[in-house]
Amino acid sequence: MIRRLLVVRHAHAAPAAPGGSDRERPLDSRGRRALASIATNIAELGEPVDIVLASTATRVCETVRGALPAGFDEGSIWWSDALYLAEVNVLLGELRGLPEQSGSVVLCGHNPGVHELVLALIAERISGELASTFAVGAVAALDIETNWSEVAPGCARLVALRQN
């Protein structure tokens, strides 16, 4: 079974309020405008989505809720504090815990971790846009030809990259 992983970087966020935390930064107007494009990219590249793995940071929560189709089962969103500014090894651990029957998964999080995850999973020499950046609102579609429990660097093929 080939599995589809959509790696999404959250939409553009406002700076932290004075005295506020980075985790609590909401989307700004640019980020809210980008939600329709992110939603289109998710729909075109990964539907039907079985599970969403998402950081609990405000900007990720707003991105996920704004980009998923109306009526998406909230119980299929797995919110995880561990995904906040997570490094590749943490992201891989979260992916390895997915149910094997899940065919299409969205992982929404933060740079540099999500960018580094995509690069690690495809583990091929790349040039151009993906080599240097994974923009806010970016969606990378990867096909994974192994079980979720066996996800490791080099196990995926990049199918599409949509940078907003």
For residue 63, which of 164, 155, 160 has the smallest C-alpha distance? 164
- Domain boundaries of the chain, sorted by first residue: 3-162
Query: Given 3.40.50.2300, 3.40.50.2000, 3.40.50.720, 3.40.50.1240, which CATH number is that of 3-162?
Result: 3.40.50.1240
- In this prediction, residue 128 carries a pLDDT of 58
Per-residue b or e along 35-72, where b marks 16 or more CB atoms closer than 10 Å to that residue's CB:
beebbebbeebbeebbbbbbbebbbbbbbbebbbeeee
Per-residue pLDDT of the chain (164 residues; tens, 9 = 90+): 899 999 999 999 999 888 889 999 999 999 999 999 999 999 999 878 999 999 999 999 999 999 998 888 999 999 999 999 999 999 999 999 999 999 999 999 999 999 999 999 997 766 555 667 889 999 999 999 999 999 999 999 999 999 87
- Specify the pLDDT at position 146: 95
